[in-house]
Amino acid sequence: MSVVDKRVFRFKDPVLEFYCPLCRSKRYLMYRSKLSKKNYLQLLILSIILAFGTYPWMGERSFVWPLVVWGGAELVLKIFFRKNIPCPYCGFDATWYKKDVRVAKRLVAEFWKKKMPVEKNVDASEGANLSATRSAARPAADGSVDSSVR
């Protein structure tokens, strides 16, 4: 099964569908970056339950719960959204690309290093010697080959 065949997995009710600008695979985002009206209603109900449930112990300070719950929900939603942005196929992260292109390139390179590890049998020094030998054995611009390298 090729890499392209593995990319046809679909998500149920995605928030956003788009194509990755680097590898052109179809992407789906499952989380919004902002709370919806339904989320605000859920947070309000949870805050009221927590406030009235803790009122006997905390007194009037229990009415701080709405701020705590709202801040926590925003934080968790932003974390889930940011975790969902990088492409799982090529490692491209659009938010880093907007901030700093060099960092985005480095993150993609690190993604591919993790995904495709170098052969374990080849030592780093052997690999450097091999590349030096190949570059030395290349023909010169006039077409002659250096006879000292064999």
User: pTM of whole model > 0.75?
Assistant: no
pLDDT tens digits, residue range 106-126?
A: 989 998 898 887 655 444 444
The Cα 46–Cα 99 span in angstroms is 36
- The pLDDT-based confidence of 18 (bands split at 50, 70, 90) is confident
- At 12, the pLDDT band (50, 70, 90 cuts) reads confident
Report how far apart, in Å, the C-alpha atoms of 98 and of each of 34, 103, 138, 141 are: 19, 10, 41, 42
Q: At 81, list the tokens.
A: 């959204």
Region 141-145: what's the mean pLDDT? 51
**Model confidence band, residue 127 (pLDDT cutoffs 50, 70, 90):** very low
Listed in sequence order, the residues at least 6 apart from 140 whose beta carbon sits closer than 8 Å to its beta carbon are 146
